[in-house]
Chain A
Amino acid sequence: MIAVVDYGVGNLFSLLCSLRSLGLDCVVTNQKEVLKRAERIILPGVGAFGDAMEKLRESGLVDTVKELGAEKPLLGICLGMQLLFDKSMEHGEHEGLGLISGSVLPLAKDIAPTLKVPHMGWNKLEIVRDDPIFRHFQNGEWVYYVHSYYAANCCDHILGVSEYGVRVPGLVRSGRIYGMQFHPEKSGGAGLRLLKAFSEL
């Protein structure tokens, strides 16, 4: 069973539909016991970093998520991926979960002003390090992004990148913890195949 962490952030409808379309057993929960029983954890998220961390703290799930990351495959998606890092500079400086070393920085400062922010749309994901998560994925397939901040100083953890003025880390990993900056649940067949590979880890 895959448990999707419910901490009051974002719309989980599409994510659940995509997991169910793969025939995967999944549940949305904020219960520690359910998260502990699950085989895999997904940490979703949209919105602002500071607000999301605050909600995760209010849910009392920060320590649980940190512990589970050491025990079983955990996948952070979009803002959920950004939360995995040490800190973010989105509207001030905010401490993250610290599960992957690196920091989250504004794209606008590091790319040409002619490039639009948010980085929104389909971009190619280039594999920089092979990994079981790519079992059903081919180098250069297209994935769907919507974000204005990106993970930096995390070279050792990057599995896949997309070019958008900078090399945007699209897929990262540390131990059993994975992060996807793009939305696999909105990335057509390519995204579904990445989720399938996650379910097989």
Chain B
Amino acid sequence: MVSKRIVPCLDVRNGRVVKGVNFQEIRDMADPVEMARYYYETGADELVFYDITASVEGRKLFTDVLRAVASQIFIPLTVGGGINSLDDFDTVLKSGADKVSVNTGAIKNPSLIGAAAKRYGSQCVVLSMDVKRVDGKFHVFANGGRIDTGMDALEWAKRGEDLGAGEIVLNSIDTDGVRGGFDLPMLRAFGEIVSVPLIASGGAGTMEDFLELFQYDRIDAGLAAGVFHTKKIEIGSLKRYLKDSGVNVRI
């Protein structure tokens, strides 16, 4: 059977990996190629790169980084950040991405999901959602978690799947960067209605958090950034711990 996946996420700005807390307070961390290689060697199942630069120069640096990573790292690579058109898909796929993650671009233009799925296949299209509780409901936030769209997040997930997204990444803004554990109540709400693979993001602080996450069998992967970047959790140790606890992981 397929294993549960451990996915480090690298936010890249101007060619460097950075990390924010609750989507703010950005800190410079490391060289993305070096970091990707470290994760590959310690057993990451997949890597996600988000381009969080807005400038043309930053974009160019990002695709350079992506090419360098793809030429040395032989596991699936997902790329997101500023994907607004099929041309954007094309650019990152040609630079070595295997999957492309859409977020604000798909909120503005939902037909992008269907068009990309038709051209590149559903397996290539990842719908990434930043979700936060507002008055007891899950709302979709746009622009890196800054703008409340007012959209119902559960409906958006279902719609994204119907349009052709092959995978959904669920970032909980409420738990992001806090390291108090994944947002299990939120994940369960989505797990019940989503039938494509679901990747949980936001809140990983300890190895136990991952174990708790995977005890809910509708979750396919756990994504985290800070705890891996700072080496608070080392992926090799995490996977051994999960395996010893009965979780099906690739070692």
Known: A21-B72, A185-B74. Is A120-B123 also a contact (CB below 8 A)? Answer: yes
Q: Are A46 and B95 in contact (CB under 8 A)?
A: no
- Chain B min CB distance to A199 (Å): 15
- Chain A min CB distance to B113 (Å): 16
- Chain A min CB distance to B39 (Å): 11
- Identify which of A14, A47, A120, A144 contacts B166 (C-beta below 8 A): A120
Q: How far is the CA of A82 from the CA of B167 in the complex (A)?
A: 23
Q: How far is the CA of A192 from the CA of B75 in the complex (A)?
A: 11
Q: Are A13 and B70 in contact (CB under 8 A)?
A: yes
The reply on A122 being an interface residue by CB < 8 A is yes
The reply on A129 being an interface residue by CB < 8 A is no
Q: Are B75 and A144 in contact (CB under 8 A)?
A: yes
Q: Are B3 and A122 in contact (CB under 8 A)?
A: yes
Q: Are A122 and B2 in contact (CB under 8 A)?
A: yes
Query: Per-position contact with B for A95-121: 1 when CB-CB < 8 Å, else 0?
Result: 000000000000000000000101111
The reply on B220 being an interface residue by CB < 8 A is yes
Q: Are A116 and B196 in contact (CB under 8 A)?
A: yes
Residue of B nearest to A114 (CB): B217
Q: How far is the CA of A116 from the CA of B123 in the complex (A)?
A: 12
Q: Are A13 and B94 in contact (CB under 8 A)?
A: yes
12 contacts between A and B (CB under 8 A): A14-B98, A17-B70, A18-B74, A20-B71, A46-B120, A47-B121, A122-B5, A123-B2, A142-B3, A142-B250, A144-B75, A186-B75
The reply on A156 being an interface residue by CB < 8 A is no
Interface contacts beyond A120-B166, A188-B75: sample of 17 additional A-B pairs, CB < 8 Å, sorted by A: A11-B98, A14-B70, A14-B74, A17-B71, A20-B71, A46-B120, A46-B121, A118-B166, A119-B2, A120-B197, A121-B5, A122-B2, A123-B3, A164-B1, A186-B75, A186-B76, A188-B40
Chain B residues with CB under 8 Å of A122's CB are: 2-3, 5, 45, 250
Query: Per-position contact with B for A1-45: 1 when CB-CB < 8 Å, else 0?
Result: 000000000010110011011000000000000000000000000
The reply on A191 being an interface residue by CB < 8 A is yes
Chain B residues with CB under 8 Å of A48's CB are: 121
Within 8 A of B (CB), among A165-187: 185-187
The interface residues of chain B, by DSSP majority, are classed as loop
Chain A residues with CB under 8 Å of B120's CB are: 46-47
Q: How far is the CA of A48 from the CA of B118 in the complex (A)?
A: 10
Within 8 A of A (CB), among B80-139: 93-96, 98, 120-123
The reply on B195 being an interface residue by CB < 8 A is yes
Known: A11-B93, A164-B2. Is A118-B122 also a contact (CB below 8 A)? Answer: yes
Q: Are B45 and A14 in contact (CB under 8 A)?
A: no
* Residue tally, chain B, CB below 8 Å to A: 28
The reply on A163 being an interface residue by CB < 8 A is yes
Chain A residues with CB under 8 Å of B76's CB are: 144, 186
Q: How far is the CA of A123 from the CA of B3 in the complex (A)?
A: 6
Within 8 A of B (CB), among A137-171: 142, 144-146, 163-164
Within 8 A of A (CB), among B169-202: 195-197
Within 8 A of A (CB), among B12-71: 40, 45, 70-71
Chain B residues with CB under 8 Å of A47's CB are: 120-121
Chain A residues with CB under 8 Å of B74's CB are: 14, 17-18, 21, 185-189, 191-192
- Identify which of B1, B167, B220 contacts A123 (C-beta below 8 A): B1
- Chain B min CB distance to A143 (Å): 10
- Identify which of B3, B40, B121, B197 contacts A116 (C-beta below 8 A): B197
Q: Are B75 and A121 in contact (CB under 8 A)?
A: no
Within 8 A of A (CB), among B218-251: 220, 250
- Chain B min CB distance to A46 (Å): 6
Q: How far is the CA of A119 from the CA of B196 in the complex (A)?
A: 10
Q: How far is the CA of A118 from the CA of B124 in the complex (A)?
A: 11
Q: Are B2 and A120 in contact (CB under 8 A)?
A: yes
Chain A residues with CB under 8 Å of B250's CB are: 122, 142
- Chain B min CB distance to A85 (Å): 19
Q: How far is the CA of A120 from the CA of B123 in the complex (A)?
A: 8
Q: How far is the CA of A128 from the CA of B239 in the complex (A)?
A: 27
Q: Are A13 and B2 in contact (CB under 8 A)?
A: no
Residue of A nearest to B4 (CB): A121
